[in-house]
Amino acid sequence: MLEPFAASRCLTLGVELELQLVSTYDYDLVPVAHDLLRVLDQQGFKGDVKLEITDSMIEVATGICKDYAEAAEQLAALREGLLRAARRLDIGICGGGVHPFQHWSERRISEGPRYKQLNDLYGYLAKQFTVFGQHVHIGCPGPDEALLLLHGLSRYIPHLIALSASSPYVQGADTGFDSARLNSIFAFPLAGRAPFTLTWAEFQDYFAKMARTGVVNSMKDFYWDIRPKPEFGTIEVRVMDTPLTVTRAAQLAALIQTLARWLMIEKPFRPAEDDYLVYTFNRFQACRFGLDGVWVDPASGEQLSLGDEVARLITRIGHHAVELGSDAAIAELAANARARRNDARWLREHHANDPLLAELVRQQCLVWADA
């Protein structure tokens, strides 16, 4: 069933983060999600924390925020609450898109009918789905505006991937990718881009046809990079790896909000199906090479360095950032893009200093607790 598109305040934002729960002894993932929720509850913690598909991960979410400052503040409060509960259980919490050396066969699927159904359907893919992403919701005034924003933002998916990439290591080895997490997601049959429909009526037609085939039951069955979330009245950007710090997560959310404002108010271009000709190429470049990747401008066909293009884009939308109060936050992203610095690079540098991956995870826990 496709719900009706709920009303939401335009350009409000919400951030969801999937986080890793690790042992402080060997820094491998540890199944303590239920324990963490119990202790949070005992400590009277007020905040949105949920179980995820395997029980060594949790998902936290902010409420509806109006700007960067509010999102950053809520994320910091969530982090402090989680750290307090984690100390009681002697566990570590960290960001990063993939745990660098966990073995997928050892993961345990959470209890609950939906997870059981996913496990039965996808088999080992469900366990391999122990990956950690950041999702950002942007409030839209109506469903048609939501679809227009969705296809407008698609051009900038590579930018967001490269800035957030934090999953170079998988199952104990360097994959060569900055974001190897997305490779796990592409394996799902309903992953990728949303169909090119610019009105809600067309989208309803598409959904009805898909539902008739029995392949999908709800929007949750689509693993698209950006998908509409009718019950919230938002679109949800889902390509980011969970950054190593909540500060970076808030900055990325600020960038998406600023892009949305620019696209909604200035309408700098009309989205077209042809934009998607270079979509998978651009996305691959961002996953593989991060800010060093190549970005092909879908309009001009020009090939640019992604790091430079990110910095140029941020300059171009600067006045919208000033309006939203996110200028300082996204200026920092621009500086990082120019220096080609992202979390994947941070991880590789630390790993070069100390080849023990367990120590790398410990460093991830320290940096997450710090900023």
Partner 1 sequence: MTHDPLATLSLLPSWPLHLDNAFWFALLLVVAPLAGEFVFRYLRWPRIVGYTLIGLFASVIDFDTSGLQIPALLQRALEVALAVLLFELGNRINPRWLLANPWLIATSLAEAGLTFVAVTAMAHTLGLGLGSSMAVATVCMVSSPAVIMRVAAEMNARGQVTERLLLLSALNTIYAVVALQVLLVALGVVDAGDPWNAALNPLATLALSFILALLLASAVGFAQRRIDVSDENGALLLLGLLFLALALVQTLGASPLLVPLLAGILLRSRDPRPRLWPRHFGTAGGALVVLLFVVNGMATDWRLIVGGGLVALVLLVIRAATKIASTVLLGRRSGLSVRQSAALGIALLPMSGIAVLLTTSLHQAFPEFGTRVASALIGAITVMEIVGPLATQWALKFCREANLTRGGRHA
The yes or no reply on residue 226 touching partner 1 (CB under 8 A) is no
347 binds partner 1 (CB under 8 A): no
Q: Is the CB of 87 or the CB of 116 nearer to partner 1?
A: 87
Contacts of partner 1 in 43-72 (CB under 8 A):
none
Please name the amino acid found at residue 332. E
- Residue 30 found at the interface with partner 1 (CB under 8 A): yes
87 touching partner 1, by CB under 8 A: yes
Is 141 an interacting residue with respect to partner 1 (CB under 8 A)?
no
3-state class (DSSP) for residue 15: strand
Residue 17: strand, helix, or coil: strand
- Contact between 209 and partner 1 (CB under 8 A)? no
* 171 is an interface residue for partner 1 by CB under 8 A: no
The DSSP symbol for 28 reads S
Scanning residues 92 to 121, which ones bind partner 1 (CB under 8 A)? 103, 105-106, 108
Q: Which is nearer to partner 1, 30 or 150 (CB)?
A: 30
Where does this chain touch partner 1 (CB under 8 A) — which range of 19-27, 112-120, 201-209, 262-270?
19-27
CB nearer partner 1, residue 34 or residue 319: 34
Q: How far is the CB of 352 from partner 1 (least distance, A)?
A: 16
Task: Judge whether 314 and 337 are in contact, CB under 8 Å.
Answer: yes
Q: Which stretch binds partner 1 (CB under 8 A): 45-53, 182-190, 307-315, 351-359?
A: 351-359
**Would you call 226 helix, strand, or coil by DSSP?**
strand
80 binds partner 1 (CB under 8 A): no
Under the binding rule (CB under 8 A), the answer on residue 211 touching partner 1 is no
Please classify residue 82 by burial: count the beta carbons closer than 10 Å to its beta carbon, then call 0-12 exposed, 13-18 middle and 19+ buried: buried
Judged by CB under 8 A, how many residues of this single chain contact partner 1?
27
Distance (Å, whole) CA 57 – CA 97: 12
Out of 188, 359, 367, 369, the residue judged to bind partner 1 by CB under 8 A = 359
35 scored as a contact of partner 1 (CB under 8 A) = yes
Alpha helices in the chain (DSSP H): 33-42, 68-89, 113-122, 124-128, 143-153, 157-164, 181-186, 200-213, 246-266, 279-289, 306-316, 318-324, 327-338, 343-353, 357-370
Q: In whole angstroms, how close is the CB of 205 to partner 1 at the nearest point? A: 45
Strand-pair partners of 191: 223
CB of 31 to partner 1, least distance (A): 5
From 13, 17, 19, 39, residue interacting with partner 1 (rule: CB under 8 A): 39
Q: Per-residue DSSP letters for 40-105?
A: HHHTT--SEEEE-SBTTEEEEE---BSSHHHHHHHHHHHHHHHHHHHHHHTEEEE--SB-SS--GG
